[in-house]
Structure 1
Amino acid sequence: MNENITPIDPIAISLGPIQVHWYGVIIGLGIALGLYLVIRESKRLGLHPDTFIDLLVWAIPIAIISARAYYVIFEWDNYYADHPGDIIKVWNGGIAIHGALIGSVLTTIVFAKIKGLPFWKLVDIAAPSIILGQAIGRWGNFVNQEAHGWEVSRAFLESLMLPDFIINQMYINGAYYHPTFLYESLWSFAGLILLLVLRRKASSLRRGELFLTYVIWYSIGRFFVEGLRTDSLMLGSLRFAQVISIVLIIGAIGVFFYRRKAGLAKKGYDEKTDSVNA
């Protein structure tokens, strides 16, 4: 197959030696919209709007570093051992969402302790923003032509009624591929709607349960999408993201019921309290 298709230029703006990549622009957009959501909700729940700005000052760089480190560790023998100078080139892609989650959750735990704020309240408020950022961020993978799935035919992609700009961007090195970035993005947007609907029915939610719902929802989608990908981070013969997804699903369900049974989920989602133990 030899089609004359030009991929999207990954560079959005060039100003002399300075290049702004679409990947960074898209990630930045996800962060900005996510921050807008958390500030609105934090005001409604009685938190100072600067709370999440202060948190993100630490959480964003730590999440990026941990996401990159996670990816580099798994790809060390395959690539980075011979190209250590490329470790800092995050604009070319190669940041792992699970690594970002680890870094951001650990940062939030420390931040909550220092500020005397309830951890579960913070992550509940942040949950819709996290999944929104993931939904938007996958389009950075689209521009970079990465995180795609198995080889498919153009006819298959057309049968999905996808616009030409998506189909054409999935033409990589002489073949078409599953747009797994799109599958995960749509799943995440659906998860955002679910979380916003559940949040409106806050009377039935205990604190922490919106975040746990996010973890379960995202992990289910990631498990199935990961099975289609060709660039999975591997642990022996296992796709590590699928292993982590199963662990997160079981763990989140376990924490959900344990907190209810042990009486640790006494506070409602929308109760306005700043107790660190709530």
Structure 2
Amino acid sequence: MLALPFPTIDPVLVQIGPLSIRWYALAYIAGLVLGWLLGRRLVAMPRLWGGTSPMKPQDLDDALFWATLGVILGGRIGYVLFYNLPHFAAHPADIIAVWKGGMSFHGGLTGTIVALVLFARARGIRILSLLDVAGVVAPLGLLFGRIANFINSELWGRPADVPWAVVFPNGGGVPRHPSQLYEAGLEGILLFVIMLAAVRMGALKRPGLAAGLFGMGYGCGRIVGEFFREPDVQLGYLAFGTTMGMWLSVPVVLAGASLAAFALTRKRAS
């Protein structure tokens, strides 16, 4: 059976004594920093908002800190609750052991939304407009995160006989779908192109539209990706061959569609 060998990439980029810099951490940093830079550029262009930007580029400097907390805390709490609650209930000290792995995007998404809503209320910024900025830049973080998953040889796909199947070091010696790269393409590259096209077509002039489009795009891309991704071993397949990732993505799609529909009923900024 044809299969591609896993590329020789050390998950640790630099090791200095007990301190190690991992690709996974750099992926989080790259996603947040590039998202922050793009967000500043968006809010510095009043024409994208119908003549007046709802916030200043400096506002995003502080929003970055809030979003980082939301991603980390929400991602970890989401993993604990949705993916391995029995283990953490029996070993509560492991909850803070984030270096052992275990983050949930859906939890991180929820945490980021809560953090940005609180930040917007504190600053007097229109909440939906801030969420729109986050929706446009979020695919960058997803792209880097999925590539880091591939480098870490984690969250690999189901057994496959396609010519591009990969034999992961800890995947049981079986050729598998490189589902991390599928998701990087769907949730990262494709969704980012869609979001930029939406901005170009005036989506930011309707508060909530870009955020809604992101919810629909991510949710659909994640559901498609789950058909190729091996489910978490402690959960396995759920009812009708579904996975936890699919079920968690359904409300994201529905919420995104509802938000986009609401935004389209509002008056468009001229």
TM > 0.5: yes
Shift in CA distance, 4/107, structure 1 to aligned 2, threshold 3 Å: closer
Shift of 1:58: 1.7
Cα RMSD (Å): 2.7
Q: CA–CA distance in 2 between the matches of 1:20 and 1:139?
A: 16
Amino acid at match of 2:41: R
TM-score by length of 1: 0.81
Shift in CA distance, 112/140, structure 1 to aligned 2, threshold 3 Å: same
Q: Secondary structure at the match of 1:150?
A: coil
Map of 1:240 onto structure 2: 244
Shift of 1:227: 2.5
Map of 1:30 onto structure 2: 31
Q: CA–CA distance in 2 between the matches of 1:48 and 1:16?
A: 42
Amino acid at match of 1:62: G
Q: CA–CA distance in 2 between the matches of 1:76 and 1:244?
A: 15
How does 1:14-29 map onto structure 2 within 5 Å? 14-29=15-30
Any gaps of 5 or more consecutive residues in structure 2?
47-52
Q: CA–CA distance in 1 between the matches of 2:204 and 2:116?
A: 25
Q: Secondary structure at the match of 2:103?
A: coil
Shift of 1:106: 0.9
Shift in CA distance, 172/108, structure 1 to aligned 2, threshold 3 Å: same
Match of 1:127 among 113, 116, 135: 135
Which deviates further from its counterpart, 38-47 or 214-223? 38-47
Shift in CA distance, 170/213, structure 1 to aligned 2, threshold 3 Å: farther
Q: CA–CA distance in 1 between the matches of 2:157 and 2:221?
A: 14
Map of 1:275 onto structure 2: none
Shift in CA distance, 36/103, structure 1 to aligned 2, threshold 3 Å: same
Shift of 1:258: 3.7
How many residue pairs are counted as aligned between the two chains? 256
Shift of 1:83: 5.2
Shift of 1:235: 9.2
How does 1:124-273 map onto structure 2 within 5 Å? 124-153=132-161, 156-157=163-164, 167=166, 169=168, 172-187=171-186, 188-202=188-202, 206-232=206-232, 237=239, 238-261=242-265, 265-268=266-269
Q: Secondary structure at the match of 1:192?
A: helix
Map of 1:42 onto structure 2: 43
Shift of 1:111: 1.1
Any gaps of 5 or more consecutive residues in structure 1?
159-166, 272-278
Contact 1:142 1:169 in 2 (8 A): no
Shift of 1:23: 0.7
Contact 2:32 2:64 in 1 (8 A): no
Q: CA–CA distance in 2 between the matches of 1:208 and 1:33?
A: 22
Match of 2:82 among 54, 74, 82: 74
Q: Secondary structure at the match of 1:20?
A: strand
Shift in CA distance, 236/178, structure 1 to aligned 2, threshold 3 Å: closer
Partner deviation per Cα, 1:233-262 (whole Å, 9 max, x = no partner): 67964523212222222232223324544x
Map of 2:104 onto structure 1: 96
Does the alignment pair 1:10 with 2:14? no
Map of 2:49 onto structure 1: none
Shift in CA distance, 200/170, structure 1 to aligned 2, threshold 3 Å: farther
Partner deviation per Cα, 1:99-119 (whole Å, 9 max, x = no partner): 011001011111111111101
Q: Secondary structure at the match of 1:151?
A: coil
Amino acid at match of 1:90: V
Contact 1:139 1:182 in 2 (8 A): yes
Q: CA–CA distance in 1 between the matches of 2:243 and 2:123?
A: 38
Shift of 1:267: 4.4
